[in-house]
Chains A and B, each alone.
Chain A
Amino acid sequence: MSAVLRGADGTRLSVDHGLCSGTGHCQEAAPGAFRLADRRAWPAEGLDLAAADHAGLRRAADACPWYAITFTPGGNG
């Protein structure tokens, strides 16, 4: 079970809810890109993935201590 968001340019951000444990490292690494609810992280509502800070999202994926985040830039990102 995962929370997945796709951008107009094919960029994809997912949080694997079989792993996520709600620690919030992703929020700190990529401010504004995630919200926490029910001890799980979700891509923030209205997040425009094509325009988002990709370096921050990559940092979030690296920082997750549960390896729950997959970030795949699309287009020429």
Chain B
Amino acid sequence: MPEMTPEATRGAADQAGPAVPVFKPYTAKADFPWEELARDRSRCPVAHSEHLDAVQISSYAGVKEVMNKVAEAFTGTYSTLWPLTEPLPVDQQVFPSADPPRHTRQRKLFVKALSASRIAHMRPFSERLAERLLDGILARGTGFDLVTAYSRRISEGHIAELLGLPEELRERFMYLSTLTELSTADGKGMGYRAELDEWQAQLAGMVRERRAAGEDSDDLITRLCFAEDEGDRLSELEVASLIRAMIRAGNTTSAAALTNTVAALERHPEQKAKYLADIEGLTPSLVEEGLRYDGPALGLWRRCARETTVQGYPLTPGDRVFTVTAAANHDPEVYDRPDEFLIDRDWKELPPHLTFGWGIHHCIGVNLARLELETSLAALYRRLPGLRLEPGAEIPQVPGPVFRNWLSLPMVFDPVSTGAGR
């Protein structure tokens, strides 16, 4: 289809029946998709997309309605990351891809460990980790890739600490967790099957070993291994899937949120200047704006399980839906100047962005993610003088419809005099 102005498209739609979505994340995922998404949101906020082979939902109200109706009308068992045609094996239905009551049972095992008050105790750890990584970056010169030297290190450090992952397994697990992200690119998830299956088996083996060793430690993995549900332990594979989901979600999404926020800040010099003038005061609202403006999720898959409507659009069992979180977060009905990056929005007065979702599947890592983002952003901009994107560097975006993530972000900063006192 040739490029059209919004007016021309509307005219064409009048003659040729209802408007159809123009968002094409498989073949033409734009680095900055906000314009296409705005077009879909205003012309056809709930509409069938041939490209996605799904009903695409792009308004805030529509996406939130799906999230609110998840328990009564939708299922995640066909996976939220890939548009599968068969449900996942039962042992692999965890968190977003589990439905109640299975989901409720799993979630109850985690809420305490991930609650706001418990995660607040991790702040000193979190600050030390950021400082240590920045010491290393400063010692190595004046250039680095934010993604590999900082964002991923921050997120893997936190999730490993929370879970109590043995040091020798960390690197391999973190590598494997990034394959999940890449596997969503074509909607099939086949490319990395063998490696991901092997990971699952390795995790199940770890569960078996911990169980054999007895309940001798208080870390989250050990507690999961010995958690009981009405007298029964969870299966090895279910515990393995839960751990895998925690590592994946904890590692890739918060790293992406950090990278995306830095990329946005670097591309908005006046906002960056504002931030540098009041790092302490503006960090919390910078974090929320980063998550809203360019959060780690572009959209998620679900499948209709019972007859329902979304914003009046009828859905029948078997219909696939794709909720475009990124479009909902830029909805002008909810946010003023939605396509602008404004780090001092008053989030106490604004409806929450939908990056953490809403309803029974509300992101369970929300407290950890906010902590990581707050400490790592503040430390980064405090410690590295003259920090900026490397001039002329090309920055690639992860392919596919599910994630938003800059895959590398080369940065430079001014040399620091290393006189006495440091």
Contacts and interface: CB of A to CB of B under 8 A. Distances in A.
B253 to A, nearest CB: 17
Given A39-B116, A66-B111, A67-B108, A21 B359 contact: no
B367 interface: yes
A25 B116 CA distance: 15
Contacts of B107: 65, 67
A23 B117 contact: no
Given A24-B352, A67-B108, A19 B359 contact: no
The CB with the most chain B CB atoms within 10 A, among A39, A65, A67, is that of A65
Contact of A20 (B108, B116, B352, B359): B116
A22 interface: yes
B288 to A, nearest CB: 12
Interface in A32-62: 39-40
B108 A19 contact: no
A65 B360 contact: yes
A22 B111 contact: no
Contacts of A24: 352
Interface residues of A, number: 16
Contact of B111 (A1, A19, A63): A19
A25 B111 contact: no
B115 A25 contact: no
B360 A21 contact: no
B362 interface: yes
Contact of A19 (B112, B352, B358): B112
B162 interface: no
Contacts of A75: none
A39 B367 CA distance: 10
B117 A65 contact: no
B111 A40 contact: no
Interface string B89-132: 00000000000000000011001101111100000000000000
Contact of A65 (B112, B116, B352, B359): B359
Q: Could you say which of B114, B356, B362 has the most chain A C-beta atoms within 10 Å of its C-beta?
A: B362
Interface residues on B, range: 10 to 19
B366 interface: yes
Nearest to B64: A28
Nearest to B110: A66
A20 B107 CA distance: 14
Interface in B146-166: none
Nearest to A66: B111
Contacts of B118: 18
Main secondary structure of the interface of A (DSSP, over half): loop
A4 to B, nearest CB: 16
Contact of B117 (A17, A25, A63, A67): A17
Interface string B354-383: 001011111010110000000000000000
A23 to B, nearest CB: 6
Nearest to A37: B348
A1 B361 CA distance: 25
A19 B356 CA distance: 17
Contact of B362 (A1, A18, A65): A65
B115 A19 contact: yes
A6 to B, nearest CB: 23
A20 B120 CA distance: 13
A7 B17 CA distance: 57
Contacts of A1: 117
A22 B367 CA distance: 9
A1 B118 CA distance: 12
A21 B115 contact: yes
Contacts of B367: 21
Contacts of B116: 20-22, 39-40
Nearest to B358: A25
10 contacts: A18-B115, A18-B118, A19-B111, A19-B115, A20-B115, A21-B114, A21-B366, A25-B358, A65-B359, A65-B360
